[in-house]
Amino acid sequence: MITVTDLTKRYARTTAVDHISFSISKGDIVGFLGPNGAGKTTTMRMLTCFFPPTAGKATVAGFDVFEQSLEVRRRIGYLPEAPPLYLEMETIEYLRFVGRLKGLTGDRLEKRVDFVLERCAIADVKAKLLGKLSKGYRQRVGLAQAIIHNPDVLILDEPTAGLDPKQINETRDLIKSLAGDHTIILSTHILPEVEQTCERVIIINKGKLVATDSVHNLQARARGAESVLVEVGARTGEFAIPVVRARLEKITGVSRATLKEEFQNGAVFEVEASKGQLVRGDLARAIVESGWELNELRPAAMSLEEIFLQLTGTDAGAKSADTPPEEAPTPEAPEANA
Ligand SMILES: Nc1ncnc2c1ncn2[C@@H]1O[C@H](COP(=O)(O)OP(=O)(O)OP(=O)(O)O)[C@@H](O)[C@H]1O
Ligand SMILES: [Mg+2]
């Protein structure tokens, strides 16, 4: 549905987007991640024909965003970072206005206006001036105008920015409910949101693509090797943590066992395997054969947040204690956002 090839955007001095390529299939819901100034908004603006790329190419539903922008615009709904709402217009007036701009007329227009009022839960403010709406309601009106012409593709630039937790949940549910009929790209800084809403993520940093994959694969890849959390308990009275640890580290393929938690007659270890080694079976056997209880054994998944920090190097020392020390990344000067 969307293909991006070597897409590049240069402003006077900055290369905001630097040869990025990815593709998104129909019906996908994709999280677009990156630190401030990474180039998310710039990419979205090119996809929505707001301005042309400096180099490279992007197509939406097979149409070139530069050469066939009319066709592209018809198929795209865009929620910009700061929705350009006309503050002196009533909600319903504004939606009719946008609907007409997008080619809707007569009965069809009225039907779509009613539909989005309902769908975005803004029917109760339809006669209110946009300037008098709360931030959350404005955001919903922004979403309503994005979907009014029932576009195939939705491009949402931080749809939940500035909302309270309840509104974030509502907006997230709304976006999820739209996922079936639409292909969606949404940018956000809220990583759990991506884990909950998106099947895939695209991560960019300083204009460059650093990852595009499913959340699941990213987690596996970032880990590199299998890592499991294992809870071991004492069956009889005898239970010494160093003994257990030493036993775990003796298993073939295990590179390290780290104590994560300790309680009376039991402990949790994180066991890391060397790359390419599967150790779960041997691990379970060793524990049971040593006369200990195996209370739990589960993969130690990396959170998307850890992956994000690892890939973008924006970490300022917030890594979990068990990560081997790396060179400290140079702190970046906060970028002035034009
Ligand atoms: N109109 C502009 N003129 C010059 N530079 C710009 C302009 N818009 C953006 N930039 C620069 O391009 C880079 C990418 O900005 P962009 O707004 O695309 O980032 P972003 O990923 O959306 O960031 P944020 O998370 O803060 O919204 C930044 O360095 C920014 O300063
Ligand atoms: Mg942005």
Q: Please identify which residue in the block is written with the tokens 């959170």.
A: 303
pLDDT (0 to 100) of residue 180: 76
CATH number of the domain encompassing residue 205: 3.40.50.300
Average pLDDT over residues 192-198: 81
Average pLDDT over residues 169-183: 84
Nearest CA to ligand 1 atom 2: 338
| 30 secondary structure, DSSP code | E
pLDDT (0 to 100) of residue 333: 41
pLDDT (0 to 100) of residue 135: 84
Give Cα separations from 209 to 28, 31, 32, 109, 213 (angstroms).
Answer: 19, 13, 10, 40, 11
Average pLDDT over residues 61-74: 93
212-229 residue pLDDT tens: 988 777 776 666 667 889
- Is 318 contained in some domain? no
Lowest mean pLDDT among 8-12, 58-62, 273-277, 279-283: 273-277
Average pLDDT over residues 180-196: 84
- Is 249 contained in some domain? yes
- Is 320 contained in some domain? no
pLDDT at 50 over 70: yes
Is the pLDDT higher at 120 or at 7?
Answer: 7
**Last residue in a domain, options 155, 186, 221:** 221
Side chain identity, residue 83:
P
pLDDT at 183 over 70: yes
- Is 329 contained in some domain? no
Ligand sitting nearest the alpha carbon of 40:
1
268 touches 231 (CB < 8 A): yes
CATH number of the domain encompassing residue 294: 3.30.70.3190
Which tokens in the block code for residue 236? Answer: 């009889």
**Last residue in a domain, options 221, 256, 284:** 221
Same domain (yes/no): 131, 198? yes
Average pLDDT over residues 244-264: 91
Confidence bin at 237 (pLDDT 50/70/90): low
| 169 secondary structure, DSSP code | H
pLDDT (0 to 100) of residue 338: 39
Same domain (yes/no): 27, 95? yes
Confidence bin at 316 (pLDDT 50/70/90): very low
Average pLDDT over residues 125-133: 94
End-to-end CA distance of the chain: 30
Give the integer Cα–Cα distance in Å for 142 and 126.
13
User: What's the domain range around 106?
Assistant: 2-221
**Last residue in a domain, options 203, 221, 239:** 221
By residue count, the chain amounts to 338
pLDDT (0 to 100) of residue 227: 81
- Number of domains within the chain: 2
What residues flank ligand 1, with Cβ below 6 Å?
11, 14, 16, 34, 36-42, 335, 337-338
Question: Mutate which of 8, 9, 11 to test ligand 1's pocket (most atoms within 8 Å of Cβ)?
Answer: 11
Distance 234 CA to ligand 2 centre (A): 53
299 touches 216 (CB < 8 A): no
91 touches 128 (CB < 8 A): yes
- Is 72 contained in some domain? yes
pLDDT (0 to 100) of residue 221: 66
Same domain (yes/no): 230, 268? yes
pLDDT (0 to 100) of residue 327: 39
Same domain (yes/no): 19, 51? yes
Lowest mean pLDDT among 16-20, 210-214, 296-300, 309-313: 309-313
Same domain (yes/no): 273, 217? no
Nearest CA to ligand 1 atom 25: 36
- Is 258 contained in some domain? yes
Same domain (yes/no): 177, 113? yes
pLDDT at 322 over 60: no
Same domain (yes/no): 132, 271? no
Side chain identity, residue 317:
G
- Is 337 contained in some domain? no
pLDDT at 98 over 90: yes
Side chain identity, residue 219:
Q
Which tokens in the block code for residue 49? Answer: 């024909």
Same domain (yes/no): 53, 139? yes
Same domain (yes/no): 143, 92? yes
Side chain identity, residue 104:
L
Same domain (yes/no): 95, 235? no
308 touches 203 (CB < 8 A): yes
Classify 287 as helix, strand or coil: helix
- Is 312 contained in some domain? no
Query: CB within 8 A of 322, min separation 6: which ones?
Result: 258, 260, 270
pLDDT at 294 over 90: yes
Classify 297 as helix, strand or coil: strand
pLDDT at 162 over 90: no
pLDDT at 286 over 90: yes
Give the CA dihedral 145, 150, 152, 158, nearest 10 degrees: 20
Measured in whole angstroms, the distance separating CA 299 from the mean position of its chain's CA atoms is: 22
Same domain (yes/no): 123, 206? yes
Nearest CA to ligand 1 atom 17: 41
Query: CB within 8 A of 319, min separation 6: which ones?
Result: 306, 309
Give the CA angle between residues 225, 231, 237 to the nearest 5°: 140
Give the integer Cα–Cα distance in Å for 279 and 268.
16
Same domain (yes/no): 189, 40? yes
pLDDT (0 to 100) of residue 66: 92
Q: Please identify which residue in the block is written with the tokens 């975005």.
A: 120
